[in-house]
Amino acid sequence: MEFELFWLLGIPVFFGLGWLAARVDIRQLMAESRTLPRGYFKGLNLLLNDQPDKAIDAFIEIVRLDPESADMHFALGNLFRRRGETERAIRVHQNLLARPDLPQEQKEHAEYELGVDYLKAGLLDRAEETFNRLINGQYGAQARRQLLEIFQREKEWPRAIESAMGLQESGAGSRQKEIAQFYCEMAQDALVHLHVDEAMALLDKSLAADRNNVRATILTGDAQLAKDDVEGALLTWRRVEQISVPHTALVAQRIMDGYRKVGRPQEGVNLLKSYLEQASSIDLLEVVYKEVMELHGVAEAKELVVNELRRTPTLLGLDRLLEARMVDAPAAIVSELSMVKNLVHGYTQKLARYQCSHCGFKARQFYWQCPGCSRWETYPPRRTEELNVMN
């Protein structure tokens, strides 16, 4: 009982010590705030009120009155860059670097900001040179990330691979998916120039980096087809199903063309139908619909589309159904069906987009690298309308 009473008596003491420490911290904070220029608070207030132009004027005045204020230079340079005034941002950071008394830590900071200025201004050579000087310093990881962006912009894929590997070794996280895509870019270029063996070697490296890379698998099938190995290509393309069933829509037409070449089109249709049952897809339906129409006629093609519409009701699917209905419709209603189809088709053109899951950028074409945010593998292999129905 005495022990518990002792602790109860100690509570006011600890409370008093905490109150005293808080008072000391508040006084120190107030003393430090008095040393800041009045323009600093004015500029900060303008920034908070979304008035960057006036904020810049306030910070410029501080820099004019106190040219030794490095923090104000950094703030001013970043404001210029955010506004797109990269030339002024470059001058601010160059002025900082020209100061002989600037501490090494702030010097590296200023050099990094200058490199970002060059990158934003499109001066890639200067940006690369600047970031290369920072690789072994405190901004090493950030500099490597910026270098990786530069090499991707310039499509220097071997250097991008080297930079991504350097980032991995520095402990900045795995870059295997990106490395696999860089090898795919090189392989695709080799295939365009009919360097099939070179492409195969690059695709082996891509799959070594990411064994479940859909793009590398598809391109490997393309390379086998270029060597007239149709059966091998079909076997490779069928592996896409094991990696990601929704991605089979991207390889459906290749598979169907391959089965036609070997004289087994019905086998191809049956395979694509099985994919469609596993993962509904407008693009996959499009391929199967055309093949069923050609092999079995209008009635079976309509049945296919109706069943798919019942399972996944979309305007894109309805567009296909109206197309099938018009083939054998009585002449009296063809014009009416045509009018409805044209109306539906107009809406489907807006819905037939792929959408980046990171930045929301929409495109008619499927991209492995988003044109909006430059991230890799952020496009689901489904159209936006399908994604909305699924959600």
Is 184 annotated as belonging to a binding site? no
C-alpha closest to that of 240 among 216, 222, 260, 224: 216
3-class DSSP state of 362: strand
Angle between helices 140-153 and 157-169 (to 10 degrees): 160
3-class DSSP state of 369: strand
Residue 383 near residue 283, CB atoms below 8 Å: yes
Bridge partners of 362, per DSSP, are: 355
Residue 216 near residue 376, CB atoms below 8 Å: no
Is 370 annotated as belonging to a binding site? yes
C-alpha closest to that of 73 among 58, 87, 92, 47: 92
Instruction: Measure CA 165 to chain center.
Output: 19
Angle between helices 214-226 and 230-238 (to 10 degrees): 170
**Annotated binding site for Fe cation, which residues?**
356, 359, 370, 373
Binding site as annotated, residues: 356, 359, 370, 373
